[in-house]
Amino acid sequence: MTANPFLAPSPLPFGFPDFDAIAEEHFMPAFVAGMAQQRAEIDAITDGPDAPTFDDTMVALERSGEVLRRVSAVFSTFVASCSTPGIRAIEAEIAPQLAAHSDAITLDPALLARIETLLADPVERDAESRLLLERRHRDAVRAGARLGPAEQERLREVNAELSALSTDFGSKLLAEAGDSAVLVEDPAQLDGLSADAVSAAARAAAARGLDGHLITLVLPTGQPALASLTDRALRERLHTASTSRGARGNEHDTRGIVLRTAAVRAERARLLGYPHHAAWVVEIGTAGSVEAIDAMLGTLAPIAAANARAEAAELAAEAGYEIQAWDRAFHAERVRHERFDLDAAALRPYFELERVLRDGVFHAAGLLFGLRFSERDDLPRYHPEVRIFDVFDDTGQLGLFVADLYARDSKRGGAWMNSFVTQSRLLGTKPVVLNTLNIPRPADGEPALLTIDDVRTLFHEFGHALHGLFSDVQYPRFAGTAVPRDFVEYPSQVNEMWLDHPQILRNYARHHATGEPLPVPLVERLHESRRFGEGFATTEYLAAALLDQAWHRLDGSVSDVERFEADALAAAGVDVPIAPPRYRSTYFNHVWGGAYSAGYYSYIWSEVLDADTVEWFAENGGLRRENGETFRREILSKGGAVDPMQAYEAFRGRAPDIAPLLARRGLG
């Protein structure tokens, strides 16, 4: 029996996890030992001298839970990126225990008394230390510190149940995604699909021992193949498979979880003295109130829905029949082709993964921030496809960047950033950040050619990675992306601006076989076509955001998921059948399985800041090192160590303006 690798610091550079030594059986004992360690550390704090000091309480609290930090970071990556039945079983068992453990610390009365004593102490403290006290205190109040014992007991039960529900949702959705893939027996039906999409479908079928072609589903409602399949019947089948996920009455049905989660979240909010879950959530966002969210979404919804209806009429004219949701992408692609002489497939040879990564994403970070990247292959990895890069700036090595880019069955859908190690001056740690994507793996020997959406995702996720890499904070609590949810997408969205910046695009968009740059007319048309289809895209997004808000403002009980959804969309004015929500309730992982409940509005909230920042770059000479440095210093390095809107106003010199966003989305 080898020693459990999580119990001691990793011997590898930057605390990189020693994956060669890590096995599934290490997780459970490490979680148990990690919780016991942290509990003992908290007890040592509260057993300390009666008069607390900042060091013996707050600093000790920030340092606590080292084993738990290590095991949790690796485990969450296994859950998301190399899930097995064993991992899922551990997750189901440990998630409620971790929730209870963390609640017990947040609500510890002796610890809270010490924090309150320190808060009341008029001594001068640096801003980050003051904020740490305020945030820890707010956490406690929000978690029920002011409730009586019976209510606290109920709260503990509720939190444990919510944690289990969330895990259950994630597992069911993953299983359902596999089960919902569409098997095509007649290859003639695949007409229109690119050759590599056809071969990917053949390989997907073969991998499951099936005859024919298997079209696997991506997480949002819109399936990529819908843009090119000429067979209407197959399009309808694919769309139906997508939109009925989680609502088919099989063992992966999520409707019960949705109803129960919404009801329990509502109960928790009432217990804590809030009218609904959304009010509890928005309190810690930059939006500040549900009225502010409503004002923003309410401004956009009617214009977006009107634009979507106008776009639908245009497409119907082109198609010559009344088109349905599953026909939309196909005809949009044809109109785009006619009007802009641009089709998505013609661009892909110019977007080869390696070039996009090195000559696009990394290159832009070099010009803006002076970053350099060097791939290393001496560190162990959790999957052979994982790649690891040293990241340097002018002053030395910042940390490590890990890229896990290809789709596989054991990985959940979507794209995200997370960390194995977060930066903290207190702990002396430098960041080890990951970007995980789901790019279809090319056939052996073939280049990985990306769609423009994949390119955008790569730039986007790298924006989160920069937020983690540039973090320069004292306390781990505030590291990198530990900012409010309605702020966290802002740096990543800003980073998308470089993907079609002429200087960057020219550098990376080269034909994979000939090396020729993307022809200038194509670039121009790419720019012209940007606003095409924005009515649909905005409506789909807003429908999901408004649906999320509706689920989290319940004041009565709900028993029918589909009816609630239809009513909510109609009430918000975004019931446009041709543009269904980007996620329907039963596969809305952000809000039931992820951390975005009542927070899906955050993307467009962040985009206001993003569009306003794109203006700032334009006003200040665009792609210049000085601009990158300013953005890094004022926003990216701050993590959660300052109030985000104060940071924004310090950077921009004024409050954010919504006009650039309206112009960008054709809603002005």
Positions annotated as catalytic residues are 461
Residues 6+ apart with CB under 8 A from 235: 226, 229, 326, 327, 330
> Based on CB atoms, which residue is closest to Zn ion, 286 or 492?
492
Point out which span in 73-81, 293-301, 434-442, 488-496 binds Zn ion (CB under 5 A). 488-496
Alpha helical stretches, state H, 180-324: 195-207, 232-243, 255-271, 277-282, 290-319
The residue within the footprint of Zn ion, chosen from 38, 286, 481, 492 (CB under 5 A), is 492
State the nearest-atom distance from the C-beta of 374 to Zn ion, in Å: 26
State the nearest-atom distance from the C-beta of 457 to Zn ion, in Å: 9
Whether the Cβ atoms of residue 254 and residue 173 lie closer than 8 Å to each other: yes
State the nearest-atom distance from the C-beta of 489 to Zn ion, in Å: 5
Point out which span in 122-130, 491-499, 516-524, 552-560 binds Zn ion (CB under 5 A). 491-499
> Based on CB atoms, which residue is closest to Zn ion, 261 or 493?
493
Point out which span in 22-30, 37-45, 351-359, 489-497 binds Zn ion (CB under 5 A). 489-497
Whether the Cβ atoms of residue 617 and residue 496 lie closer than 8 Å to each other: no
Residue type, 161: E
CA angle 231, 234, 240 (to 5 degrees): 140
Tokens representing residue 593 in the block: 């399985």
Whether the Cβ atoms of residue 322 and residue 215 lie closer than 8 Å to each other: no
Place of tokens 């017990």: 104
Closest residue to Zn ion, Cβ-based? 492
Residue type, 144: G
State the nearest-atom distance from the C-beta of 477 to Zn ion, in Å: 21
Place of tokens 């090195």: 358
Residue span 581-610 as binding mask against Zn ion, x where in contact by CB under 5 A, dash where not: ------------------------------
Q: Around Cβ 562, how many Cβ atoms within 10 Å?
A: 12
State the nearest-atom distance from the C-beta of 123 to Zn ion, in Å: 39
> Based on CB atoms, which residue is closest to Zn ion, 62 or 486?
486
Point out which span in 3-11, 91-99, 269-277, 483-491 binds Zn ion (CB under 5 A). 483-491
Whether the Cβ atoms of residue 255 and residue 246 lie closer than 8 Å to each other: yes
State the nearest-atom distance from the C-beta of 464 to Zn ion, in Å: 6
Point out which span in 41-49, 269-277, 379-387, 482-490 binds Zn ion (CB under 5 A). 482-490
Backbone angles phi, psi at 90, to 5 degrees: -65, -45
Backbone angles phi, psi at 126, to 5 degrees: -70, 160
122, with CB counted inside 10 A (0-12, 13-18, 19+), is: exposed
> Based on CB atoms, which residue is closest to Zn ion, 176 or 489?
489
State the nearest-atom distance from the C-beta of 493 to Zn ion, in Å: 8
State the nearest-atom distance from the C-beta of 459 to Zn ion, in Å: 11
> Based on CB atoms, which residue is closest to Zn ion, 95 or 450?
450
Ranges of beta strands (E only) in 368-476 are 372-376, 387-393, 396-406, 416-421, 432-439
> Based on CB atoms, which residue is closest to Zn ion, 235 or 460?
460
> Based on CB atoms, which residue is closest to Zn ion, 111 or 494?
494
Tokens representing residue 319 in the block: 């198609």
Distance CA 76, CA 153 (A): 28
Q: Is 474 in the site for Zn ion (CB under 5 A)?
A: no
Place of tokens 């003051």: 130
Distance CA 453, CA 414 (A): 12
State the nearest-atom distance from the C-beta of 297 to Zn ion, in Å: 19
Residue span 65-84 as binding mask against Zn ion, x where in contact by CB under 5 A, dash where not: --------------------
Tokens representing residue 376 in the block: 């290393």
Residues 6+ apart with CB under 8 A from 24: 84, 86, 87, 90
Point out which span in 241-249, 329-337, 351-359, 492-500 binds Zn ion (CB under 5 A). 492-500
> Based on CB atoms, which residue is closest to Zn ion, 189 or 492?
492
State the nearest-atom distance from the C-beta of 492 to Zn ion, in Å: 4
Point out which span in 53-61, 490-498, 531-539, 633-641 binds Zn ion (CB under 5 A). 490-498
Count of residues for the chain?
668
SS3 of 448, please?
Answer: coil
Place of tokens 């999901």: 544
Whether the Cβ atoms of residue 600 and residue 545 lie closer than 8 Å to each other: yes
- Identify the bridge partners of residue 402 per DSSP, sorted by sequence position: 388, 434
Place of tokens 């290159």: 363
> Based on CB atoms, which residue is closest to Zn ion, 423 or 492?
492
Size of the site for Zn ion (CB under 5 A): 2
Distance CA 162, CA 34 (A): 22
> Based on CB atoms, which residue is closest to Zn ion, 333 or 489?
489
Tokens representing residue 554 in the block: 């319940």
For the CA atoms of 612, 614, 615, 621, the dihedral, rounded to the nearest 10 degrees, stands at: 150
Q: Which residues bind Zn ion (CB under 5 A)?
A: 489, 492
